[in-house]
Chain A
Amino acid sequence: MRSLLNVLVIVLSAALGLVLIGVILESPSPARVRLSEEVLMQIGASGVTHPVTAVLLNFRGYDTLLEVMVLLLALLGVLAQMGKQKRENPPAGFYLTEPRMQVLLWLARVLVPLMVLVAGYLLWAGGHQPGGAFQAGAVLAAAGVLLNLSGLLPSWMEPAWNLRAGLVSGLLVFLLIAAAVMMTASPGLLLQYPPASAGMLILLVETGLTLSLGLILAGLFLFLSGDAIDDEADK
């Protein structure tokens, strides 16, 4: 039974690979397609004025959708690696009393609110200049890593329901908006926003993505760093 399943998986994977190779061979040669001019011609209908954001979240929105899924899968891989053993969360701030930690603590307390502010700015700026959900999420994640390294935030062990909800919320918002747009505005077309409300929908998607990507990227560090800190607490 198990080997039959393996054969099935191999056949399906091979079929998928052949289809992908076929699609690549079918696509027109890149020399004849002038993408940047096409983007600048259509940018009025995208709801944003920055061409990179227009491509990432409107014209090629499904690329971004798949990218978020890949990041979530990577985190699931990390969670699977951690095994099933349940441990007590180490108490936050177990080495905060040492004098040498005071500078780091002070820095973290000053920097983290600023980083949250910068993340909000990057999210908002994405509509008309460089910025957007990925960069904002990365800044949020960096704030989480800083809090963890300075001992203010314990490493994550078993994700509780609220953390799980946060991790998938961005993807869920993205999928809900994709489904809603497909049902109402443009039947049968994935992520074809109506131009009038495209700006608002993109901002909604990016807000959800910022939160989720921040948690996912921070999770890659905070789940993996759990063991090291756990060892230290034992000594």
Chain B
Amino acid sequence: MSSLILDLLLVIALLWSALRSLMTQDLFQAVVLFIVFGLLMALVWARLHAPDIALAEAAIGAGLTGALLLDTVGYLRKKQQESFP
């Protein structure tokens, strides 16, 4: 029973973070929500008995891609400040 509740919560949180990440206007918020989505996805893979994919998702999907996207947001902000001081 408790595992069913955990699964349901995970599914709701996953869908919510995916939707919010796509719908939000703020790029920084979208990236943070994308990282949250990746970490939740890793938990879902672990629940589905696929620990290998969970490890890869957490390390590459959430970690490295998140770092790259955050770097991009910082770069874009700097560009924006230079053109509209």
On A, residues with C-beta under 8 Å from B are 52, 122, 130-132, 134-135, 138-139, 141-142, 145, 149, 217, 220-221, 224-225, 227-228, 231
Contact = CB atoms under 8 A, between A and B. Distances in A.
Contacts of B75: 227-228
A217 B61 CA distance: 12
Contact of A145 (B55, B56, B67): B67
B60 interface: yes
B64 A228 contact: no
A224 B74 CA distance: 12
A142 B68 CA distance: 11
A221 B63 contact: no
Interface in B15-61: 51-52, 54-56, 59-60
A132 to B, nearest CB: 7
A31 to B, nearest CB: 21
A5 B83 CA distance: 41
Interface of B: 51-52, 54-56, 59-60, 63-64, 67-68, 71, 74-75, 78
A221 B71 contact: yes
Given A132-B52, A138-B56, A138-B59, A231 B78 contact: yes
Given A130-B55, A221-B67, A228 B60 contact: no
Question: Which of B51, B56, B60, B75 has the largest count of A CB atoms less than 10 A from its CB?
Answer: B60
A228 B55 contact: no
B71 A130 contact: no
A223 B75 CA distance: 14
Interface of B is mostly: helix
Interface of A is mostly: helix
A7 B63 CA distance: 42
Contacts of B51: 130
Question: Which of B54, B71, B74 has the largest count of A CB atoms less than 10 A from its CB?
Answer: B71
Nearest to A53: B52
A220 B52 CA distance: 23
A149 B55 CA distance: 23
B59 A139 contact: yes
20 contacts: A52-B52, A130-B52, A131-B52, A131-B55, A132-B52, A134-B56, A135-B52, A135-B55, A135-B56, A138-B56, A138-B59, A139-B59, A142-B59, A149-B67, A220-B64, A221-B64, A221-B68, A221-B71, A225-B71, A228-B78
Contacts of B54: 130
A41 B61 CA distance: 32
Contacts of A135: 52, 55-56, 59
B7 to A, nearest CB: 20
B71 A228 contact: yes
The 6 closest A-B pairs by CB, nearest first: A138-B59, A130-B51, A135-B55, A130-B52, A52-B52, A228-B75
Question: Which of B52, B54, B56 has the largest count of A CB atoms less than 10 A from its CB?
Answer: B52
A38 to B, nearest CB: 18
